Structure 1
């Protein structure tokens, strides 16, 4: 039975029934979800795959401990950034040879913005979304200072009109980290190209959560992370995308030996590799790279259409339940109500959002808080169930009805929110 057929009232029994017919339901058994915990923070850190500990043990004990340096060849360590990039590529609408897994999102964005500035000489403006996740803006500011460029911050409805003949690139996050709002990749990319600018996209909150079609939209460059919906592990490496038409022309500034055309020739001068490897810099973190592959294997086994459908169903159910059961407690929906404009998260504003989230976490419902007033809940379709949604809102209703969030200890700010 569909949500709209419930007549506005959702029951736990209805939620359980949705889970029985879930074509992705079996994926939950592939993840470690502790008993008594409802994990709605996969948009910040994905859950651990059950296969991860054994895989790490193999890499550490056998490949490193047993085979030692031979594993650079025998275990494929040296090729891992490209191997994983080719695994990831179909998940974001890219081709083999266009994606590489390496470094952090911030470092990768620095590389791409620098390359973009060289590809559009004479242009000065980089346009970003002002309320975007700050690291993108910070990195752009650093590149701009070093290159004599200008960073232009605009909100989502102002971006298209801000693009002009002096724009070298737009750098836009596909799904907004606070609200979950989806920016129109195809339309903004086309608008940038009309002005002769490049389109750079940040996929941190969309890769693995919804269909992404970089090549279908004509995107030039992109970055993303693997530790959220791709379940690569805490601090797992980021990735970057360079469209094939730009390979060779796009040159990154951090010219380390792994990006050399012949790294083991040990030439004193730098000659960039002609392919995606040119965006590597130094020796790679092999253990975390290897672990990233575990999450990617699970994602590659899932149907993206089914995943998106479940994401929409979970977020719609959550919104309806919060408004049904907690509507009188001062929550306001910060995410788009239209599912077509919303990623796989739901955010509500509340004046006491931090204390409320602390109280929820204490009761086994894990979401997170984003200043100044947003409680944020991520729905990873591979392991979140409709019953989890019901139970999470049940706890939220109790926290609000009982006033449990007023406990003074919840007002004490922790380092990570």
Structure 2
């Protein structure tokens, strides 16, 4: 691979997604001191269309339409869910709902899935999964008198399918897994793992938070059971944006949400005395949907669908490959090691490096105008977002990373514990 800046510029010149960059705020500065944002896998940039979309809801629909605007808002959760299903998730109409947070949706679907497998008393997750996932699994297990079977997973390579296979038996009700590991970016095989779990008679609940909008997700083709995910990372829905949930169509009638809210009621405006779940995906609704948040999600979802997930994944993989190659050439001599799968087919769109002073390196990079993030125990995580990040941004960010190491700039920063108040 040609590791020159000119080669990175050539990749940008040939990039079919290049025009999307100008549709986001904060991307117009091309100066040598510009901010290089490599944390799009934590919070995506603001699309330029989003403020106007929010203003329309606030000024016209709320400001002028008042309560009458609910005639349009009432179906937003399913309408936007269908848009995500078609343009991003490879699901069918009526299988996706935009609602609540990822954690709440995870709880709803995990509890519902566990109830749908009576006689099975084990929930499976991995020791390295995102904390909220493990916490929710533990809480559901405690509430239902179940056992958690927490599987070991390599911090860099993710879960070994053989380890999962060995843990599956007639006691397992639901397996909770992330498609892309939050720390290393390790990518699981959606279809193969789903088949493995199905063969054991269990359900699998996928967390797509670090995958959606960055890697191809084909839920229907994989015969996936359940999934949740957030919209504020690669989908650019903004901080606190509502999450989504997916339930395969033929499973919906078998599952009942543990939170019996009026937006999941069969005839909600009858205001009846008894809860009767709605027929389809709407049964997993709970309370009044966050209309403003959904307006922002719609903009990001539309941009993602327009760009095409396959094209985004191709570019994301190529940027990750450049990060890995520059890491080998520039960072490894300073004691930095790759903490993500080296095989691009086993990796999402972010790359992680390990170093004992990862916290200090992260702070030094931020002060040099590069925004990564730190992940325990000793990881620097770089998440270029293919909708708006250029190859030259990756090159320049890695160049500043090299300079920090060459100068020993991280030595002037206190250790993590000294920074915690």
| TM-score normalised over the length of structure 1 | 0.95
Q: Give the 5 Å matches for 1:12-23.
A: 12-23=5-16
Per-residue deviation, residues 55-96 of structure 1 (Å, max 9, x unmatched): 1112112211121111111xx211111111001002111111
- Residue number in structure 2 paired with 1:86: 82
Per-residue deviation, residues 245-274 of structure 1 (Å, max 9, x unmatched): 111111111001110011111001101001
1:106 aligned to 2:106?
A: no
For structure 1, which runs of at least 5 residues remain unmatched after alignment?
Answer: none
Per-residue deviation, residues 18-57 of structure 1 (Å, max 9, x unmatched): 0000001111011112531111111111111011111111
- Residue number in structure 1 paired with 2:68: 70
Partners of 2:116 and 2:195 in 1: CA distance: 18
- Residue number in structure 1 paired with 2:407: 402
Contact 1:38 1:364 in 2 (8 A): yes
Per-residue deviation, residues 379-398 of structure 1 (Å, max 9, x unmatched): 21111111001100111111
Q: Give the 5 Å matches for 1:185-224.
A: 185-224=190-229
- Residue number in structure 2 paired with 1:40: 38
Instruction: Tell me the CA shift for residue 410 of structure 1.
Output: 7.0
Partners of 1:88 and 1:374 in 2: CA distance: 32
Partners of 1:137 and 1:303 in 2: CA distance: 32
Instruction: Tell me the CA shift for residue 304 of structure 1.
Output: 2.2
Per-residue deviation, residues 136-187 of structure 1 (Å, max 9, x unmatched): 1100111111111111110212112101111111111000000100112212
Instruction: Tell me the CA shift for residue 357 of structure 1.
Output: 0.6
| Structure 1 moving runs of 4+ over 6 Å | none
Instruction: Tell me the CA shift for residue 284 of structure 1.
Output: 1.4
Instruction: Tell me the CA shift for residue 111 of structure 1.
Output: 0.5
Partners of 1:162 and 1:309 in 2: CA distance: 34
- Residue number in structure 2 paired with 1:31: 24
Aligned residues: 406
The alignment partner of 1:145 has SS state of: helix
For structure 2, which runs of at least 5 residues remain unmatched after alignment?
Answer: 154-158
- Residue number in structure 2 paired with 1:96: 93
Per-residue deviation, residues 338-368 of structure 1 (Å, max 9, x unmatched): 0000000000011000110111111111110
The alignment partner of 1:247 has SS state of: helix
Contact 1:19 1:385 in 2 (8 A): yes
The alignment partner of 1:381 has SS state of: coil
Partners of 2:118 and 2:223 in 1: CA distance: 21
Contact 1:98 1:241 in 2 (8 A): yes
Q: Give the 5 Å matches for 1:275-286.
A: 275-286=280-291
Compared with structure 1, are the counterparts of its residues 408 and 39 closer, same or farther at alpha carbon in structure 2 (3 Å cutoff)? closer
Aligned-residue CA RMSD (Å): 1.2
Contact 1:359 1:410 in 2 (8 A): no
1:152 aligned to 2:145?
A: no
Which of 304, 309, 312 is the aligned partner of 1:304? Answer: 309
Which of 58, 77, 86 is the aligned partner of 2:56? Answer: 58
Instruction: Tell me the CA shift for residue 303 of structure 1.
Output: 2.2
Partners of 1:304 and 1:226 in 2: CA distance: 14
Partners of 2:49 and 2:419 in 1: CA distance: 35
- Residue number in structure 2 paired with 1:170: 175
The alignment partner of 1:42 has SS state of: coil
- Residue number in structure 2 paired with 1:291: 296
Partners of 1:100 and 1:413 in 2: CA distance: 40
Which of 408, 413, 416 is the aligned partner of 2:419? Answer: 413
Per-residue deviation, residues 366-385 of structure 1 (Å, max 9, x unmatched): 11000110100112111111
Compared with structure 1, are the counterparts of its residues 199 and 257 closer, same or farther at alpha carbon in structure 2 (3 Å cutoff)? same
The alignment partner of 1:248 has SS state of: helix
The alignment partner of 1:171 has SS state of: strand
Partners of 1:413 and 1:292 in 2: CA distance: 34
The alignment partner of 2:300 has SS state of: helix
